[in-house]
Structure 1
Amino acid sequence: MSAKTTSELVLELLGLLQTHRQWAGPELARRLDITPRTLRRYVERVREMGYQVEAVRGRYGGYRLVAGSALPPLVFNDLEAVAIAASIRVAAANGLVDGQTTTTTAIAKLEQILPARLRARVSAVAEHVTPLDPGRVAPPADGIGALALACRDREVVNFDYTRPDRQAEERSVEPIALVPSERAWFVVCWDRHREGWRTFRADRMTAVRATGEIFRQRDLPADSPADFVRESFSRIDCAYEAEVVLMVGLREWVDYAKGWAQGSYAVDGVATRWPIGGQSLQDLMIKLSWIPESIAYTVDTDNATAEGLRRLATRVAVHI
């Protein structure tokens, strides 16, 4: 058995509960080197300290820390909690060393236990703090903790999303990373409805809901989440846009096109839509020429762009 004192083990248990969304009972007992019966006694000790620990029954049951009606008194008082949480948000906005990982995880831990009244005060304070680097955007106040936890735990998340055209829609995604940029914070994820990789602006997401469903890791079609977001920017504010309907399944297309397939989604089992864009018609033609001869396709776009592509293709053809 462990040589640690009861107090040390209780604090270690609290630390484990704060750093993971949910723990299986046997796994917690193994990590602490105690019996399941002792674990139950230590969980009660944590509850006596003011933390709400929920026991989850069933096949995937265990223990998890949930938000309480009051801040646990042995950690911080209200003023200290608000000051610390607001400071972390400023640190994230200023891009401290390892800030994307460290500050986001710290925000996630605090949001997991802060009462709603204190979360509102943290947001109010943070909104009135000007970062030293004005080029960076602070993380949005709502949902960032839940998103960080879902990325870490590979948990499916549902949320309501407001598109640029102001239309709202419900989405279900498999998030893998949060990426801050000069424009906004982006969630890199697999979109279950579109069956493709996507980026969503965190400030347009509301009612973020963790589902408890764990997803299998997929291969991102980029070297890193940051590269994926950077490549997504290249399609923003294009002068010419189109969607290519490819007569090939989504998986086969992604395997072939790799990073070029970014934004593609399945129409059905035998067809895939591939959004493309560029600052000139020549940019679109270059991308179309990259499609192998074995794949039939059509191009959906506005009449002016379609006519311009036809003229360009004809001009090239007559000189060959």
Structure 2
Amino acid sequence: MSDAARLLRLLSLLQTPREWPGSELAARLGVTPRTVRRDVDRLRDLGYPVEASMGVLGGYRLGAGAAMPPLLVDDEEAVAIAVGLRVAARQPVAGIAEASLRALAKLQQVLPSRLARRVSSLTSATSAPVSHASAVDPGQLTVLAGAVAARERVRFAYVANENVVSKRHVEPVQLVALGRRWYLLAFDVERDDWRTFRLDRVSSAVATGARFAPRVPPGGDAVEFVTQRMYDTAPTFQARAILGLPVELARARLGDFAGELIAVEDGSCSWCSPEDTVEYLGFRLTSLGCEFVVEGPEELVEHLREVGERIGRAVGWTGGRDGGGG
């Protein structure tokens, strides 16, 4: 066993959550206890916090350091991590979404084909509650995440709003989890302009191998740029409604979307919301858990009517369209 192979084997043993007597490590590695001590010092030089305790019950263990060192995992652990990350990719969570994609892209890059097949089989055979983002293929996510990290051009098929399919050749800059969807911010090579793509409309993504120089998104912030593009392409409105809640309770339930709340004599309150799409305004109203009456705009009233009728059909109820929103 070479020195490098022995060092990796020692690291793998120490990453098991237990304390290893020096004699047992020496026997496992086929070396002397003195060599074990020297190898432990080499790991410490590389930044691994290997702790040692003296006495009959003493030994070596890997402790928690100030920074996260590289980890070694066996086949079963690699499969478990990959499956977990692919499932998590279907439900982007604020703060960890892009990190989970980067981790999955790194793992899949070095995953042996025999393990990649196991991951694919387990993922396809596993069901889990998923959000609206479940329409995104985790395989497409990882291809694009790897291309973003490597600054590599990508080709894919894209379905636009009018259900027109087009072929795209882009320089991917950043993946953005916004609301319940994934978006790709990229520079479209053939159109010579920045574009934002919904990932549930992307298919057949393939990295071309062609590298590109780093690009800075307009304004310098990819998330802000994508967010603004979403508002630019969808009309926004300000909801006006009477909520069957006291002001303080309404404020607590609305959080940072509280807008303007004014108390009404009967214990209710009037609400003037921040601007957003009718879909999101309707979602916030129906998730408040109270009675409400929408005073405007008419677009929101119509949206709530349509949602109400859809729900009514789902539960076998039919009703007229008379009456206001709420």
Bin for the TM-score computed over the shorter chain: 0.3 to 0.5
Q: Taking structure 2 as the reference length, what is the TM-score of the superposition? A: 0.45
Q: Taking structure 1 as the reference length, what is the TM-score of the superposition? A: 0.46
**Higher radius of gyration, 1 or 2:** 2
